[in-house]
């Protein structure tokens, strides 16, 4: 297990400690298919909405992985379930209409997501990996694909 650290200041905000990592939750940014949105923009949106950065990682369309929170800081990505929970968000998740849920992950994003999931699985025995929609009281399609089926299939890119 990764040990929890003390509170930390990040970007002028006091961050709560994450606690021991037990979960990894996959999200989509709910941005239209093919629309390039930077990790910095997603973090800015989250600060405006939640008062802090939400995710530990954001994966852009080209598969680049951007650390947006350290593993010691608690994110704001699964209401009431952020303690011990790493959040990974990929850019996309809705069709070009901007409304319809759709698995828009590019092959590069799938490969990057697989890399991050495997890295955490290697570090944290017994890690529970799930999609945002798999948490209790979540009534949205995020991350717009079946995480359990993707894991079972070997996380194909």
User: Looking at residues 85-92, what average pLDDT do you find?
Assistant: 98
**Predicted confidence (pLDDT) per residue in 22-76, tens digit:** 999 999 999 999 999 999 999 999 999 999 999 999 999 999 999 999 999 999 9
Instruction: Tell me the CATH class for 21-152.
Output: alpha beta
- Please state the pTM of the whole predicted model: 0.90
Domain ranges of the chain: 21-152
Q: Examine the pLDDT at 101 and tell me if it is beyond 80.
A: yes
Backbone φ and ψ for 47, nearest 5 degrees, come out as -60, -40
How much is the mean pLDDT over the chain?
A: 91
pLDDT of residue 3: 32
- The average pLDDT across 102-127 equals 97
Q: What are the percentages of helix, strand and coil residues in the chain, rounded to 5?
A: 25, 20, 55
Q: Which pLDDT band, with edges at 50, 70 and 90, does 14 fall under?
A: low
């Amino acid at each position: 297990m990764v040990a929890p650290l003390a509170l930390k200041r990040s970007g002028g905000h006091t961050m709560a400690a994450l606690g021991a990592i037990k979960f990894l939750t996959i999200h989509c940014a709910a941005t239209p298919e093919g629309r390039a949105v930077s990790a910095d923009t997603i973090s800015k949106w989250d600060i405006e909405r939640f008062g802090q950065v939400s995710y530990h990682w954001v994966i852009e369309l080209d598969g680049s992985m951007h650390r947006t929170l350290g593993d010691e800081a608690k994110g704001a990505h699964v209401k009431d379930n952020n303690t011990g929970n790493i959040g990974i968000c990929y850019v996309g998740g809705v069709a070009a209409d901007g409304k319809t849920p759709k698995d828009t992950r590019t092959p590069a994003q799938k490969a990057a997501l697989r890399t991050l999931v495997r890295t955490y699985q290697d570090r944290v025995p017994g890690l529970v990996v799930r999609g945002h929609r798999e948490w209790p009281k979540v009534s949205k399609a995020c991350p717009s694909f079946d995480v359990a089926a993707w894991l079972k299939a070997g996380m194909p890119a």
